[in-house]
Structure 1
Amino acid sequence: MAEFEQGTKRTLLILPTGGGKTIVLSGIAYKFAYDRNRNPTGGKVLILAHQNILINQAADKFQTVMELPVFREQGRQTGCLEPVTVSSMQTMQRRLDRFPPDFFRLIIIDEAHHAMSAGYQRILEHFTDARVLGVTATPDRADGKKLSCFDSVAFEYTIKQAIDDGYLVPLKVKRAPLTINLSKVRKRRGDMDASDLGSVIEPYLHQIAEIARGMAKGRRIVCFVPLIRTAKKAAEIFSHYGFRAAWTAGEDDEKTDKLAAFAAGEFDIIFNSMLLTEGWDCPETDCVIVLRPTMSRALYVQMVGRGLRLAAGKKDCLLIDLLFQNDKFTLASPKDILGENRKRSGGGGMAPWMTGGGQQTDAEQRLAKALDKAAKKYQDPRESDKWRSVLENAPANELFDPPCSDSQKRKLKALKLDATALTYSQADAILKAAEAEKMPSNAMRWRLSQLGYSDEEIAGMNFPAARKALAKQKAMGRW
């Protein structure tokens, strides 16, 4: 309000997902449309969004919190007959000829990082007398367009501040032991091509399911994928690994029922392609897997933010971080979640007054160091619960047990293990145990599938079992 009182015409409010954005905009709408005695002041307020789900949330929240009516400008309803009106951007831009330029005193744009689109710009150019408040969690854009339609930031509350203040749960990042090469992915419309991403990621779904089973057992997981096809395939594969899995999409006739079932705990994981990045809330979600790598910090923060809301018994949100190897793209990463600087945001789509000078914040530096340390550290297997029992049961040559060989050291290094103090027999025991739990390669899975093995059969195989099955088929002359 102070920004408007000082003469600013258009200003921005930045609040993280789960930070009470809808309640805040409801309160501001009330202050413009009603006096202290709850009587209309004569000034009308328009709340705009680009999706019906956001429109419905805004209307429901205003009516619930303020206990006052809201007019929905949609379908056959027209005229904005209440002090506060909600409408989609698409509807309002088609009806501009019904309203004079001074009809609204205040226009509120939800998810305001979309405000530079042609539809929003037509509306703002028509209602020239209105004050404008943009509300968003992510004011940067992947397409490089600056949010120049706003003159200032009235207030910003970061994800880190919300976590520190107890309004969001802490983010726990685990690096998955899997590298996916993106060298064959092309760039399209400012980000990576979704079709290319689907083709690259789908062969790894079995391995990702195995990783998720080990890291996220008992959690409520939302997974973002590049294509509807990928979502369907992932749900089928994950079901073979013990997950109650579902997929959904905008064109899915059962999406409402599936999302309700997920919220009720009937599914462990739900896969989607860009459907749940905005306007969807399930506070019980406590794990996020991003299989849709992106150059856009805004999109990445929207995806991960789905797991940060508070819920009863919820301690944190686990982000399973896969390593996407590429030399062409600067990808958004966990470092972007807690950082306040947005200069590197897939196109630098910030107005000049929003940039942070290119310096990493303390939060970014701490998280970057932690991730680098986790990625580079080699663990002493003698200090690991996982490998200690293997070492205790390792057969040893009582007369002579030489140090581990250079070949063994290289293989253990690939497992992020420090072989310095290991003997040959100890190293051999660890490598055999690792091979026993190793998943078949993508080439092996493909060959097994071509030979008639079902996804369920392949999901139950470790590396030695897959190798044995292939050897048997080869001996029978089938390939």
Structure 2
Amino acid sequence: MLGLRSYQRDALVRVREAYKAGKRRVIVSLPTGTGKTVVFAHFPSVLKMKKRLLVLAHREELLQQAHDKFRAIDPELKVEIEQAGTRASADAKVVVASVPTLARGGTRLAQLPPDDFSIIVVDEAHHAVAPSYRRIFDHFGLLDPGTVRYLVGFTATPRRGDNQGLGEVFEEVCYARDLREMIAEGYLSRIRGWRVDTDLSLDGVKVQHGDFVESQLARVVNTPARNNLLVTAYRELADGRRAIVFCVDVAHAQNVHRAFSQAGIRSAAVWGELPKDERRATLAAFSSGEIDVVTNCNLLTEGFDEPRVDCVMMARPTRSKLLYAQMVGRGTRRHPDKADLMVIDVADNSRMHQLPGLHSLFNLPTNIDLRGSDVLEIEFAIERMNRTQPWIDPSRIHSPQDIKLAAEQIEFFNFDPPPALAGCTENIWYAVPGGYRLSLVEGESLLVEPNLLDSWDIARVTPDDGRTVLNRAESLTSAISIADRFVSQYRPDAARLIERSAPWRAEPPTDKQKEVLARHRIPIPAGLTRGQASQMISLVVTSPRR
């Protein structure tokens, strides 16, 4: 495994261990730009493959990338593509196959005998719940009890997915690294963010299959005023950067391109039906720097790798965290000529829809406007605030400046239980970005967070050991119950301190409590109770990272 990054080696080890442990359908989750293809291209050697390997992908670019990566790692390995008029020979050790081709019916799938294959890899595995994939899985018996074949899915889906139903196909996430970890470790580019607000409303746009109906969405957002706003935002916030603008449909991509061109900015538009030669020539000009801005619709979200991209503009509203992550991922690769990635979110109004943004990829408040700040720096500041001052409500943080003010201004305080936990716990849980936290003593806490398989992780967090998953539950209420039982069983001393209904909690703060709070320069809001003061003091005094 020479030449692999440490996390790629770890992923291979976890995949191998999962099979030995009896798992037959697993997912590996790695952010865009971290070399998922490199990992599964090492399967033949690392998994000591005796039979054939099948790679499934749904786009031509992904098929070619996988083919080329296998050949680069082992030039002697016979790797062939199965797609449309191209057929893989019966002695090809690795077959890289088009899902539309195999699932279309006829003899193509039948010509791949299940007994010849031991490993099936799904690239972009978030598509695996589609009927076309299930047809292929059924052919190979991948969902049958006792199967010996191994299904391994690779995806850039964030750890907290879109309730896509991946748990119907896969039984375990055997390895996952998220975007924030990869940026912090220097594998991906730093990200800065801006939000550009519009006066358009998305509430009249219908939703189908979990996302906006594109024809209706385009009618709302493809306006001269909004398109010109994109040009202004680029000029003011990212002038001279190499930018990809994600649009709703072809007409929107063309109109945004015209707005940039009319402003004297070198730009072009690409889309799926554009002739292949013209599309390749345009993207080559973009890569070489002849074009500064390229607009597109439904084309560059997968299979396009240009590391010089240092600006991504979100002109296409979406309800999908996965799609949003894919769009951001087009600019996260590192390059010597680039300092960071600028993400510009065009924020339309909506009371009905929860729209993803950088807050859904990082642990940030939903409504925060980063105003050009580094995402990771703001996330770390908010995490520190959550850890040391959990009485501050993160949802009331709307800008980086608010973080500096929150510790000393009462309007940022909130002692109410999270609405989603009403009636299911007697303990003092706090809502934090991405989940719920129960603070214990000496810096220890429990976290309940949604995961990729549409269930909930119960994790223990300590200063020394970091995050350790203790259990998994199918619902939030079950996860909270499991966490509460953990406390009562294994942390009885803490249990008495975190119970919300303890009579002493309703009393006024003692003089000693007021002195301690004052010494730590923590304001004492009107109506503060002894219980609230006690928790504030306990967290302030015992946290080793304050």
Structure 2 Cα separation of the partners of residues 62 and 370 of structure 1? 49
208, 215, 218: which one pairs with 2:240?
A: 218
| Mapped pair 1:269 → 2:302 | no
Structure 1 Cα separation of the partners of residues 396 and 306 of structure 2? 29
Q: C-alpha displacement at 1:125, in angstroms?
A: 1.2
Aligned 1:66-465 pairs, distance under 5 A: 66-67=74-75, 68-74=77-83, 75-93=85-103, 94=105, 95-128=108-141, 129-138=148-157, 142=162, 144-176=164-196, 178-203=198-223, 204-253=226-275, 254-339=278-363, 362=383, 372-373=398-399
Stretch moving more, 153-162 or 176-185? 176-185
Structure 2 Cα separation of the partners of residues 159 and 252 of structure 1? 32
> CA deviation digits over 1:56-76, x for unaligned, max 9?
000001101222331222325
Q: In structure 1, the residue corresponding to 2:347 is in which secondary structure? A: strand
Structure 2 Cα separation of the partners of residues 15 and 273 of structure 1? 24
The one-letter amino acid of 1:326's match is: S
Structure 1 Cα separation of the partners of residues 353 and 127 of structure 2? 23
Structure 2 Cα separation of the partners of residues 291 and 282 of structure 1? 20
Q: Could you tell me which runs of 5 or more consecutive residues in structure 1 were left unpaired when the two chains were aligned.
A: 35-40, 342-360, 378-479
Structure 2 Cα separation of the partners of residues 113 and 220 of structure 1? 29
The one-letter amino acid of 1:17's match is: T
> CA deviation digits over 1:244-291, x for unaligned, max 9?
010010001121111111111111111111111111111100000111
Structure 2 Cα separation of the partners of residues 261 and 30 of structure 1? 38
Whether contact under 8 Å (1:179, 1:322) holds in the other structure is no
Structure 1 Cα separation of the partners of residues 384 and 153 of structure 2? 26
Q: In structure 2, the residue corresponding to 1:314 is in which secondary structure? A: coil
- For normalisation by structure 1, the TM-score amounts to 0.69
The one-letter amino acid of 1:245's match is: S
The one-letter amino acid of 1:290's match is: M
Structure 1 Cα separation of the partners of residues 395 and 234 of structure 2? 24
Whether contact under 8 Å (1:113, 1:141) holds in the other structure is no
Q: C-alpha displacement at 1:176, in angstroms?
A: 2.2
Q: In structure 2, the residue corresponding to 1:176 is in which secondary structure? A: strand
Q: In structure 2, the residue corresponding to 1:97 is in which secondary structure? A: coil
Structure 2 Cα separation of the partners of residues 334 and 256 of structure 1? 30
Q: C-alpha displacement at 1:192, in angstroms?
A: 1.2
The one-letter amino acid of 1:238's match is: F
Structure 2 Cα separation of the partners of residues 33 and 71 of structure 1? 20
Q: In structure 2, the residue corresponding to 1:173 is in which secondary structure? A: strand
Structure 2 Cα separation of the partners of residues 364 and 336 of structure 1? 19
Question: Residues 289 and 31 from structure 1, CA distance in 2 versus in 1: closer, same or farther, beyond 3 angstroms?
Answer: same
Q: In structure 1, the residue corresponding to 2:269 is in which secondary structure? A: strand
Structure 1 Cα separation of the partners of residues 397 and 357 of structure 2? 10
Whether contact under 8 Å (1:288, 1:318) holds in the other structure is yes
18, 21, 26: which one pairs with 1:11?
A: 26
Structure 2 Cα separation of the partners of residues 327 and 365 of structure 1? 27
Q: C-alpha displacement at 1:188, in angstroms?
A: 2.4
Q: C-alpha displacement at 1:190, in angstroms?
A: 1.6
Structure 2 Cα separation of the partners of residues 374 and 179 of structure 1? 23
Whether contact under 8 Å (1:224, 1:290) holds in the other structure is yes
Question: Residues 326 and 12 from structure 1, CA distance in 2 versus in 1: closer, same or farther, beyond 3 angstroms?
Answer: same
The one-letter amino acid of 2:346's match is: L
The one-letter amino acid of 1:209's match is: V
Whether contact under 8 Å (1:48, 1:89) holds in the other structure is yes
The one-letter amino acid of 1:54's match is: L
- For normalisation by structure 2, the TM-score amounts to 0.60
What residue number does 1:353 align with?
none
> CA deviation digits over 1:342-383, x for unaligned, max 9?
xxxxxxxxxxxxxxxxxxx949979x7797115979xxxxxx
Structure 2 Cα separation of the partners of residues 26 and 264 of structure 1? 29
Structure 2 Cα separation of the partners of residues 110 and 136 of structure 1? 7
Whether contact under 8 Å (2:126, 2:164) holds in the other structure is no
The one-letter amino acid of 2:312's match is: V
Structure 2 Cα separation of the partners of residues 169 and 76 of structure 1? 37
Q: Percent identity?
A: 34
Question: Residues 275 and 47 from structure 1, CA distance in 2 versus in 1: closer, same or farther, beyond 3 angstroms?
Answer: same
Whether contact under 8 Å (1:339, 1:364) holds in the other structure is no
The one-letter amino acid of 2:98's match is: S
Whether contact under 8 Å (2:81, 2:97) holds in the other structure is yes
Whether contact under 8 Å (1:213, 1:241) holds in the other structure is no
Matched residue count: 352
Q: C-alpha displacement at 1:87, in angstroms?
A: 0.8
| Mapped pair 1:49 → 2:62 | no
Structure 1 Cα separation of the partners of residues 306 and 98 of structure 2? 23
Structure 1 Cα separation of the partners of residues 86 and 317 of structure 2? 41
Structure 2 Cα separation of the partners of residues 375 and 294 of structure 1? 28
Tell me the C-alpha RMSD between the 2 structures.
Answer: 2.7
After TM superposition, where is structure 1 displaced by more than 6 Å over at least 4 residues in a row? Answer: 363-366, 368-371
Q: C-alpha displacement at 1:327, in angstroms?
A: 1.0
Stretch moving more, 95-104 or 203-212? 95-104
The one-letter amino acid of 1:148's match is: E
The one-letter amino acid of 1:373's match is: S
> CA deviation digits over 1:69-104, x for unaligned, max 9?
312223252444221111111223342222333221
Which structure features the higher share of strand residues?
2
